[in-house]
Chains A and B, each alone.
Chain A
């Protein structure tokens, strides 16, 4: 809903960038880059929608949010202020992944305002079985992240929808689809992620796990 219009506490820096409170610096960068492109001066999509003053204000807010969150010190100060106001909890803070065990599911993550927007549509199995291009992909004995992504987009699912169903952090889902193996969790976790991901797409989980792990090993 209107970014601009809510009184302050409802619009945290996290909401403005549309990221969870435990977003990694990578996710923050990504979110800012995308949002900037969307609202910048020659974005026809934005200048046709907003009066110029309003669009500039959004840009300023985005920048402020970005600069605050990308710096670990200012982020920590900001987080503390949110916790004092009772709109964020300690357990939902970001911790540097290199220093701790990767969380598997963020079941504790609060429902966001936009959640109903991206309700996960139920995928009809016949859409997979009757789609020749998906069937072609599934014939292969190695499945790349790109393959999985193609199946997902063919089914019209977004990463956010997969996240809502599986609670696997979007950063991890992206790393799987981009074949960024060094960003992936240990194999035991990865396998269970792949399984959940496959279930979302109504494709055979064991096939996917085997074929993706094989691809990873051979790469």
Chain B
């Protein structure tokens, strides 16, 4: 079963596609069979970060039933061991995928014969985006040292947290407990999922314990991209501390990736940045983060589980 790393982070332009492409190249170079899937339907540009030509096939061929199996949309890239499914040419938005289309994609992804599958989730925190994010227990968040980007990380992680609560409690239980929790403490609402969990634990210790266990299986990573010299190097670590303290979720800071003018140049030239500037600070940062990521690794036992639950 593949290890799946969903890569998201809310805000547009933080570098999700750039990071997905670069991590894919590093995995492929290690000899892992690696597949990148561009789920940023509508604004797909993942292929440009790995120097792949404009794709002739894409995910929409599967969604529109032009091809029967998802693996028929896979295309090779200039990097050995690295493959991708493009999202280009899609006129559909991930937020508008019908439930059965989404579950079909999720189910097929988990069956693909790769060591690693990286999902570029694009911006946004739609219901569907979060479902894709939760296909595995170890999603990776990308942010930049800017307040709006940080806020988006929090928004996304709260949404993930809240969705987990709803998955574990059945609808009936959830409504009843959430209502009672809110009556007892008016702050225990969707925007305060941690307090909600606290209240649920008090009202129904058994369900609360189950929930806590489920939340405990999640282990996220955070990457601070476009980091400039004058930026505080600790922001990423602090964000993780806040999340661990106040949402009781595990999230590991994977490191800062330096800002580099040449990234733009590489994208324009449609060449992988890691090949163009292998000795730049940014490339070194990537390799360091990559090492940490491999150590963190996906506890992939959660995948089937997560897929089943969406059904």
A binding-site residues for B, Cβ under 8 Å: 1-3, 5-6, 18, 37-38, 43-49, 114, 116-117, 119, 127, 154-156
Task: State how many angstroms separate the Cβ of B184 from the closest Cβ of chain A.
Answer: 11
Query: In the complex, which residues of chain B have a beta carbon less than 8 angstroms from the beta carbon of A155?
Result: 295
In the complex, whether B183 has a CB less than 8 A from a CB of chain A is no
Task: State how many angstroms separate the Cβ of A65 from the closest Cβ of chain B.
Answer: 15
Residue among B197, B198, B246, B252 with the highest chain A CB neighbour number at 10 A: B246
Query: In the complex, which residues of chain B have a beta carbon less than 8 angstroms from the beta carbon of A114?
Result: 245, 248
Query: In the complex, which residues of chain B have a beta carbon less than 8 angstroms from the beta carbon of A2?
Result: 192, 194-195, 198, 246
Q: Are A43 and B238 in contact (CB-based, < 8 A)?
A: yes
Task: State how many angstroms separate the Cβ of B185 from the closest Cβ of chain A.
Answer: 7
Q: Are B195 and A44 in contact (CB-based, < 8 A)?
A: no
Query: In the complex, which residues of chain B have a beta carbon less than 8 angstroms from the beta carbon of A6?
Result: 198
Question: B272-310 toward A: CB 8 Å interface, digit per residue (1/0)?
Answer: 000000000000000000001001100000000000000
Task: State how many angstroms separate the Cβ of B201 from the closest Cβ of chain A.
Answer: 10
| Contact with B246, one of A3, A43, A48, A127 (Cβ below 8 angstroms) | A3
Q: Find the A residue at minimum CB distance from B292.
A: A156
Q: Are B242 and A38 in contact (CB-based, < 8 A)?
A: yes
Query: Contacts A38-B241, A43-B238, A44-B235: A1 and B295 contacting too (C-beta < 8 A)?
Result: no
In the complex, whether B239 has a CB less than 8 A from a CB of chain A is yes
Task: State how many angstroms separate the Cβ of B224 from the closest Cβ of chain A.
Answer: 11
Q: How many A-B residue pairs have CB under 8 A?
A: 66
Q: Are B194 and A45 in contact (CB-based, < 8 A)?
A: no
Q: How far is the CA of A3 from the CA of B260 in the complex (A)?
A: 39
Q: Are A116 and B295 in contact (CB-based, < 8 A)?
A: no
Q: How far is the CA of A18 from the CA of B53 in the complex (A)?
A: 53
| Chain A interface helix/strand/loop/mixed | loop
Task: State how many angstroms separate the Cβ of A172 from the closest Cβ of chain B.
Answer: 23
How many residues of chain B are within 8 Å of chain A by beta carbon? 32
Q: Find the B residue at minimum CB distance from A155.
A: B295
Query: In the complex, which residues of chain A have a beta carbon less than 8 angstroms from the beta carbon of B145?
Result: 44
| Contact with B198, one of A5, A37, A45, A127 (Cβ below 8 angstroms) | A5
In the complex, whether B162 has a CB less than 8 A from a CB of chain A is no
Q: Are A49 and B147 in contact (CB-based, < 8 A)?
A: no
Query: In the complex, which residues of chain A have a beta carbon less than 8 angstroms from the beta carbon of B238?
Result: 37-38, 43-46
Q: Are A116 and B212 in contact (CB-based, < 8 A)?
A: yes
Q: How far is the CA of A6 from the CA of B296 in the complex (A)?
A: 32
Within 8 A of A (CB), among B200-246: 212, 216, 232, 234-235, 238-239, 241-242, 244-246
Q: How far is the CA of A5 from the CA of B150 in the complex (A)?
A: 23
Q: Are B239 and A1 in contact (CB-based, < 8 A)?
A: no
In the complex, whether B151 has a CB less than 8 A from a CB of chain A is yes
Q: Are B295 and A45 in contact (CB-based, < 8 A)?
A: no
Other contacts beyond A45-B242, A117-B244: 6, CB < 8 A: A1-B198, A2-B194, A5-B195, A18-B245, A48-B150, A49-B154
| Contact with A45, one of B146, B187, B235, B296 (Cβ below 8 angstroms) | B235
Query: In the complex, which residues of chain B have a beta carbon less than 8 angstroms from the beta carbon of A38?
Result: 238, 241-242
Query: In the complex, which residues of chain B have a beta carbon less than 8 angstroms from the beta carbon of A37?
Result: 234, 238
Task: State how many angstroms separate the Cβ of B198 from the closest Cβ of chain A.
Answer: 6
In the assembled complex, 14 residue pairs joining A and B whose CB atoms fall closer than 8 Å, in A order, are A1-B195, A1-B197, A1-B198, A1-B247, A2-B195, A3-B246, A5-B195, A45-B150, A48-B151, A114-B248, A116-B216, A154-B295, A155-B295, A156-B295
Query: Contacts A48-B150, A48-B154: A1 and B248 contacting too (C-beta < 8 A)?
Result: yes
Q: Are A117 and B248 in contact (CB-based, < 8 A)?
A: yes
Question: B64-85 toward A: CB 8 Å interface, digit per residue (1/0)?
Answer: 0000000000000000000000
